[in-house]
Amino acid sequence: MTDCSALQEALVELQAFLGEGRATDSAIHRMAYSRDWSPRPKEMIDLPDIVAVPQSTDDVVRIVEVALRHHLPVVPFAGGTGMGGSVVAWKGGILVETKGMNRVLEVDPANMSVTAQAGITLWELNEKLAPYGLWLPHQPESKRACTIGASIGCDNDSTFGVRYGKIMDCLTDVVVVTGRGEAIRFGHRKASFSSTGYNLMDLFVAAEGTLGVVTEATLRVVTLPKTRLVRGWVFRTLVDAARALERTLASGLSVESAHINCRRRLHFYTHSFRQKYGRDPDVPEWAESILFLSFAGDEEVVDFSLGKARQILEGEFGGELVREQEMVEGYWDSKHRLDFVPFKQKWPDSQRQKKFGAADVGVPMGHLEEMYRAFLEIAAKYGQDILGMTVYNETPNKVSPSISFAVFTDDSTQEAVADFYRYVREMSLKAVELEGTMSTYIGDGDRLGGFSEREHGRSYQYMKELKALFDPDNIMNPGKKFESRWIKD
Amino acid sequence: MENHEALQPFVDDIYTCNRTRCGFCREECPVYRVKRLETYSSRGRMLAARGLLEGVLEPSGELQEVMDDCLMCGYCQARCALHNLDIFSAVREELRAAGYVSPKHEKTAAKILEEGTLFDRPAPIHRQGTTPLYLGCAYQNKPHEVDKIVSVLGKVGIDALISDEVCCSYIVGAVGLEKEFGQAQERFRQIYGPHLAGSILTVCPTCTATLRDEYGLPVQHALVAVAQRLEGMNLVRVSRKVTYHDPCHLGRMLGVTEEPRRILRALGMELVEMEHHGTFSTCCGGGGGVLDVDRTLAVEVSKNRVRDAVAVGVDTIVTACPTCQPTLLRGSGRVANELGVFVDVLDLWQLLDEALAPCQNDPSDRNFRRR
């Protein structure tokens, strides 16, 4: 329980430098920050005590100083689209609305670099880069709402990971306000890497704000491609799709995006097609998986790439090109363009009855089939409606599964939600058993902290000591990384 | 759960938004662009609605102020599949039932109900003709602009009939004064009754959307009628680089996005699109009654819209709405020093009138009668 007088004093101190409009304990504003996209009982509400909107690194330093003085949690909030509860202030405290820091500080085309405040959305940043012929290729599906800081904080997936990697592969420098209330620059300025000292910058990727608040980032950007082409191929097994992708990459082709979907997930796209066009798409009954690839660059290279890919995928692995290109375009609308029919955006209607949720485990490609079989069993065991599996590939030029085992879950009661987290728990254990990880793009959030010691073993203790180094008073996003509300031993 | 009657039809929508959290509605919401607090975005307002339903939030003056700071422009709804605007009106209705309503909005409603008009008119405009043209309060207050509109219509062969009319009362419904909105509709039907059987031309985007969607009337925006008749007309072409600002009700709600652009191209204009345009255009700042209750916010929104134009390298905005034009001009004046350029805001009807060859008839229209 937070001390009320401490809160009142903290609020007065915050308002003194932020102004009343940017520091508030009004229930209305706190309510607007009461949840993210993680499954939770629909009546659950987590109110922070204070909402503060900084506009600069200095503002954040002063906010952390206030928090330290009054022993209050500091919870950074960004896009609010996370699936693991990372930004939920379930221990109260000062919620830091980072989207007030949304300026581009420098576009440096000569060095293919951009420096921005961490609260800018990926979408807006790319709009600012487009006139220079540049873009940041880290592109999660939440990019309309997701910020640079959020991408760093939860290390989310990117549609184009198989060519450009994730945010870590773009990041060259960050400014972080640590739990000590110090603004520190970590990284290697605009150089792509450094072998001096320790790579402390990397610690902030997937740290979920538990070490500090990221306020600025410098990112390596790339040239906008002239042409892009997206196609889909169906295969008789999941393994065929994965091996076909590996062979395609080994051939020397540069693939821009590569997503493998299971049969059930394929049916999600055939269903969307049926709804839009009023007929079934022409997809063979034997299809057990679908591989979507995109190629981008100069037109002749893209054309050649498609030809060569067809040779490999169809000639060597028995894949069949999806003839219904409209279905492929529908998939691409969901993944990248986000170009939905006005007034009929698909997300809300898909979640009227049940809520989307996922176990985001990662396993090496050789265990894909076994993990998939386990998914079907475990999801059924806990009464989850199976949506299907999508394998994102997030390391440049490698089959590198970051997997969404997606379900529709019942969030009408506490017990039903508990079943979802039992499903996540068992999936996580299975992934570790298969030489993998519990989470690839969501993060610990308020679900895996503590439990993830089973994955990390003795290194978990080093993590705790690192946490104490950056945040000795344990004020930075407490209740995450080392504690869970949902999954216990 | 508290019994908030007006919100009951939307409970499913409210929880669906809460559990979806896609945030597609947020960044380009014109109010959020200014405030930078989630509370002012659609998904933040949806959480406030949930707070009311569950008793976490009580009706209050503060909540009323937050809800009043919505332009009702519909951007969020176009990015969504829920009934966002109806929900915001329902929240306002709940707040009003609990005694929290802006005195300005109540005064407006009272004026509309008593006098049938939003503004004090210099003189009601009437004109003999054959095709009913409903002007709406804003144009009734702008006789000079009405001259232009009638002149354009005449030049394309439409003989406008302007008769007694009362306010469509959009603002009464939008701010949650549902009962009064019902009364106002009844009054409208009585006064405008003689013309309700046939089709009606309209010029105000907001009136057009209200009469179509709330009254179920077969209205057509006059620009659509003009665009249909422009082909083969003798036009004086103007070489000028402009951008077109889609009024929210005309573009997003009524889907009239292509006709104004076709007209501008026919006039020889070089049309440069702003980042937010067409269905996903952004509000000028004059929507939803915000001008009445939070002028500072309205001006900030209008300044952002003017910045949008400057960002694509133009210094002239053309629009077709009696609210958008003055609101944007106000923003333009405020932001001129910052931008180092004054962005002019022109009315499409005026451009059309100048470009269309004069009628063969006497230019002084004898069918007008002003009292």
Verify whether the Cβ–Cβ distance A348 to B12 is below 8 Å.
no
Model confidence at B125: pLDDT above 60 = yes
CB neighbour list of residue A202: distance below 8 Å, 6 or more residues apart = A168
Give me the residue spans of the domains in chain A: 4-100, 104-223, 227-342, 348-445
Given a cut of 50, whether residue A138 has pLDDT beyond it is yes
pLDDT at B359 over 60: no
Backbone Cα Rg of chain B:
21
A463-488 pLDDT, tens per residue? 999 999 999 999 999 999 999 999 98
Same domain, B337 and B283: yes
Closest to B297 (Cα-Cα) out of B26, B95, B25, B30: B30
Question: Residue B334 is part of a domain; what is its CATH number?
Answer: 3.40.50.1860
- Best B18, B86, B257, B277 member to test A by mutation, with max A CBs in 10 Å, is B18
Mean of pLDDT values over B26-39: 96
Characterize the bridge pairing of strands B316-319 and B344-347: parallel
DSSP per-residue codes, A60-75: HHHHHHHHHHHT--EE
Residues B342 and B241 in one domain: yes
């209205």: which residue's tokens?
A: B219
Q: Which of A35, A99, A355 sits opposite B36 (nearest CB)?
A: A99
User: B19 in contact with A at a CB cutoff of 8 Å?
Assistant: yes
Phi and psi torsions of B38, nearest 5°? -55, -30
Q: Three-state SS across chain B?
A: CCCCHHHHHHHHHHHHHHHHCCCCCCCCCHHHHHHCCHHHCHHHHHHHHHHHHHCCCCCCHHHHHHHHCCCCCCHHHHCCCCCHHHHHHHHHHHHHHCCCCCHHHHHHHHHHHHHCCCCCCCCCEEECCCEEEECHHHHHCCHHHHHHHHHHHHHCCCCEEECCCCCCCHHHHHCCCHHHHHHHHHHHHHHHHHHCCCCEEECCHHHHHHHHHCCCCCEEEHHHHHHHHCCCCCECCCCCEEEECCCHHHHHHCCCCHHHHHHHHHCCCEECCCCCCHHHCCCCCCCCCHHHHCHHHHHHHHHHHHHHHHHCCCCEEEECCCCHHHHHHHHHHHHHHHHCCCCEEEEHHHHHHHHECCCCCCCCCCCEEEC
Average pLDDT, chain A: 96
For residue A220, give the 3-state DSSP assignment: strand
Q: Say whether pLDDT at A7 is over 50.
A: yes
Backbone angles phi, psi at A85, to 5 degrees: 80, 20
Rounded CA-CA distance A476/A18 in Å is 20
Q: Whose structure tokens read 């987590």?
A: A46
Containing A199, the helix (H) or strand (E) segment is none
Residue carrying structure tokens 């709600």: B253
- Substitution target in B10, B15, B19 with the highest count of A β-carbons within 10 Å is B19
**pLDDT, tens digit (0-9, with 9 covering 90-100), for B184-198:** 999 999 999 889 988
A179 three-state secondary structure? coil
**Parallel, antiparallel or unpaired: strands A74-77 and A94-97:** parallel
pLDDT in tens, A375-418: 999 999 999 999 999 999 999 999 999 999 999 999 999 999 99
pLDDT(B360) > 50: no
The architecture that CATH gives domain A104-223 is 2-Layer Sandwich (3.30)
Contact of A123 with chain B, judged by CB distance below 8 Å, is answered with yes
Query: Is the per-residue pLDDT at B363 higher than 70?
Result: no
Tell which of A98, A343, A412 to mutate to test the B interface (max B CBs under 10 Å): A343
Asked if the Cβ–Cβ distance from B21 to A32 is below 8 Å, we say no
CATH 3.30.70.3450 for the A227-342 domain, yes or no: yes
- Alpha-carbon dihedral A58, A63, A68, A74, rounded to 10 degrees: -120
B248/B344 same-domain check: yes
**Topology classification of domain A348-445:** GMP Synthetase; Chain A, domain 3 (3.30.300)
B44 and chain A in contact, CB less than 8 A: yes
pTM above 0.90, yes or no: yes
SS3 A489: coil
Does B79 sit within 8 Å of A45, measured CB to CB? no
B347 and B242 part of one domain: yes
Q: What sign does the dihedral B291-B294-B295-B301 (CA atoms) show?
A: negative
Q: How far apart are the first and last CA of chain B?
A: 55
pLDDT value, residue A347: 86
Give the total number of structural domains in chain B.
3
B135 within a domain of the structure (yes/no): yes
Place of tokens 């008793």: B55
* CA–CA separation, A131 and B274 (whole Å): 14
Q: Are residues B343 and B246 in the same domain?
A: yes
Q: What is the ipTM of this complex?
A: 0.94
pLDDT band at B370 (very low <50, low <70, confident <90, very high): low
**B77 to chain A: which residues are within 8 Å by CB?**
343
Smallest CA–CA distance from B44 into chain A, residue:
A32
Q: Taking CA atoms, what residue in A is nearest to B43?
A: A32
pLDDT tens-digit profile of B322-356? 999 999 999 999 999 899 999 999 999 999 999 99
Distance from CA of B206 to the nearest CA of A (A): 19
> Could you say which residues from 272 to 311 on chain B have a Cβ atom under 8 Å away from some Cβ of chain A?
275, 279-280
Contact B20 A348 (CB under 8 A): yes
Least confident stretch, A369-378, B99-108, B245-254: B99-108
Residue type, A35: R
Per-residue confidence (pLDDT) for residue A87, from 0 to 100: 97
Q: Which residues of A touch B56 (CB under 8 A)?
A: 27, 31, 45, 47
- Which residues form the domain of B166? 125-227+361-370
Q: What is the pLDDT of residues B244-279, one digit of tens each?
A: 999 999 999 999 999 999 999 999 999 999 999 999
Share of chain B above pLDDT 70, in %: 95
**Residue B26: closest C-alpha in chain A:** A145
For the CA atoms of B152, B158, B164, B168, the dihedral, rounded to the nearest 10 degrees, stands at: -70
CB contact under 8 A, B47 and A36: no
Per-residue pLDDT reduced to its tens digit, A207-243: 999 999 999 999 999 999 999 999 999 999 999 999 9
Residues B107 and B96: beta-carbon distance below 8 Å:
no
Given CB atoms, is B53 within the 8 Å cutoff of chain A? no
Give all strands (DSSP E) within A109-195, no chain letters. 113-117, 134-135, 171-178, 183-187
CATH architecture, domain defined by A4-100: 2-Layer Sandwich (3.30)
Residue B115, domain member (yes or no): no
Check pLDDT > 80 for residue A83. yes
Q: Residue A121: its chain B contacts at CB < 8 A?
A: 27
* pLDDT of A2 higher than 70: no
